[in-house]
């Protein structure tokens, strides 16, 4: 499906219903959205080990110059870029038919959404497709190459949660340049901030060398992030993984063991490669809540059994 101010549509491919329109701006703009047909698929299996991540629904691809062929190519390239970005994946082949059917059904009911999508549009798309992430992609010719912008939205709240800008490499032209710019933009969605912190303490924890750091959920840290312990010259002297995280602090391992004696309180550290929420280790609060839920269930069972035994004995 594709929506524009003129509400015109053009079927450009047998399996890809594509909406084409001329915008009201100075330059023509072509918007392409994924197929609303059960036989369509956006599933791509990357070379090498298969990565699992949060499935992302591609809801619109925009060519700002009005080139419909480029928009169609970009629509085909976007899932490949998602499949190669850690933490994200395109809609799977098994899920796509139901997602496509849901979009088709919604379209027949004259669902009130159109591109450019508003926050409420993203929420509606999420409810219809049962997808929690949606992505739009825009490409723009730049000399012999391209630039691309990928935007990721949370469909539960209808808000922007990810932004990536990409540019084709120097000397690239045509399809290679387009593919490079899109891959660069989508890959940027997975980039995380480097968060600085310090060592708070060196607690004893069995045979594992650990340090307590000033990195918690309030600073944006997530369990499973990689930690670098910095020397006087600002270069890493040891590494670790943040594995036990609370609001204002977290525990991290220290490797190699030979570097542990050189770790000291107030030493500078930095967090890199922060995992997305879906792939992060549980926080201390999440573990406590899980344990409490387990206790409640077990307690309810024991009370029920005890009551039954009492009534029978009585």
Q: Report the pLDDT value the prediction gives residue 181, as an integer from 0 to 100.
A: 94
Alpha helices in 109-151 (DSSP H): 119-129
- 8 Å CB contact between 96 and 42: yes
Closest CA to 253 of 287, 215, 205: 205
C-alpha torsion sign, points 263, 213, 245, 55:
negative
Residue in the structure block whose two tokens are 């930095």: 270
Q: Residue 186: enclosing H or E segment and its boundaries? A: helix 174-189
Closest CA to 125 of 48, 75, 58, 186: 58
Distance CA 293, CA 288 (A): 9
* DSSP code at position 223: B
Residue in the structure block whose two tokens are 């710019």: 181
Distance CA 31, CA 4 (A): 8
- 8 Å CB contact between 181 and 146: yes
Q: Report the pLDDT value the prediction gives residue 98, as an integer from 0 to 100.
A: 82
**For every one of its 314 residues, what pLDDT tens digit does the chain have, with 9 covering 90 and above?**
333 333 222 222 222 333 322 233 334 455 555 544 333 444 443 444 444 567 898 988 989 998 888 999 999 899 989 888 877 888 877 777 788 788 777 766 766 677 788 898 899 888 888 888 999 999 999 988 999 999 999 999 999 988 999 999 888 889 999 999 999 999 888 777 889 999 999 997 777 899 999 999 898 899 999 999 999 999 999 999 999 898 899 999 999 999 999 999 999 999 988 887 777 887 766 665 656 556 556 656 666 666 766 677 66
* DSSP code at position 282: P
Q: Which residues, other chains included, contact 186 with Cβ-Cβ below 8 Å and sequence gap of 6+? A: 78, 81, 82, 85, 88, 135, 137, 150, 164, 166
Omega prior to 281 cis, within 30 of 0: no
Distance CA 152, CA 6 (A): 26
Q: Report the pLDDT value the prediction gives residue 29, as an integer from 0 to 100.
A: 53
- CATH code of 30-189, in short, is 3.40.50
Residue in the structure block whose two tokens are 């699992």: 52
Distance CA 222, CA 229 (A): 17
Q: Residue 210: enclosing H or E segment and its boundaries? A: strand 210-213
Closest CA to 88 of 50, 59, 52, 137: 52
- Domain limits of the chain? 30-189, 195-281
Q: Which residues, other chains included, contact 80 with Cβ-Cβ below 8 Å and sequence gap of 6+? A: 44, 46, 179, 183
Indicate the Cα dihedral angle 303, 309, 311, 314, nearest 10°.
Answer: -140
Distance CA 172, CA 155 (A): 35
Residues, the chain = 314
- CATH code of 195-281, in short, is 2.40.10.190
C-alpha torsion sign, points 186, 79, 89, 86:
negative
């Amino acid at each position: 499906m594709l929506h524009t101010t003129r509400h015109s549509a053009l079927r450009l491919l047998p399996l890809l219903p594509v909406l084409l329109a001329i915008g009201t701006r100075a330059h023509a703009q072509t918007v392409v959205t994924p197929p609303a047909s059960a036989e369509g698929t956006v599933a791509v299996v990357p070379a090498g080990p298969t990565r699992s991540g949060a499935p992302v629904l591609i809801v619109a691809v925009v060519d700002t110059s009005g080139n419909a062929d480029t928009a169609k190519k970009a629509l085909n390239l976007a899932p490949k870029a998602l499949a190669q970005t850690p933490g994200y994946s395109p809609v799977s082949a098994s899920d796509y038919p139901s997602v496509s059917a849901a979009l088709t059904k919604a379209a027949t009911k004259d669902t009130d959404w159109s591109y450019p999508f508003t926050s409420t549009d993203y929420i509606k798309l999420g409810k219809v497709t049962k997808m929690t992430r949606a992505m739009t992609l825009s490409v723009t010719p730049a000399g012999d190459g391209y630039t691309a912008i990928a935007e990721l939205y949370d469909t539960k709240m209808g808000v922007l949660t990810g932004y990536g800008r990409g540019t084709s490499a120097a000397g690239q032209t045509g399809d290679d340049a387009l593919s490079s710019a899109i891959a660069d933009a989508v890959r940027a969605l997975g980039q995380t901030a480097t968060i600085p912190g310090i060592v708070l303490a060196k607690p004893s924890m069995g045979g594992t060398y650990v340090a307590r750091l000033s990195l918690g959920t309030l600073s944006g840290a997530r369990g499973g992030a990689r930690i670098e312990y910095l020397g006087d010259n600002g270069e890493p002297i040891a590494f670790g993984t943040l594995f036990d995280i609370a609001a204002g602090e977290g525990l991290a391992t220290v490797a190699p063991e030979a570097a542990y004696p050189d770790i000291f309180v107030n030493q500078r550290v930095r967090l890199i490669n922060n995992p997305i929420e879906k792939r992060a280790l549980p926080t201390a609060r999440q573990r406590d809540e899980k344990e409490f839920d387990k206790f409640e269930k077990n307690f309810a069972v024991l009370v029920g059994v005890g009551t039954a035994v009492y009534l029978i004995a009585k």
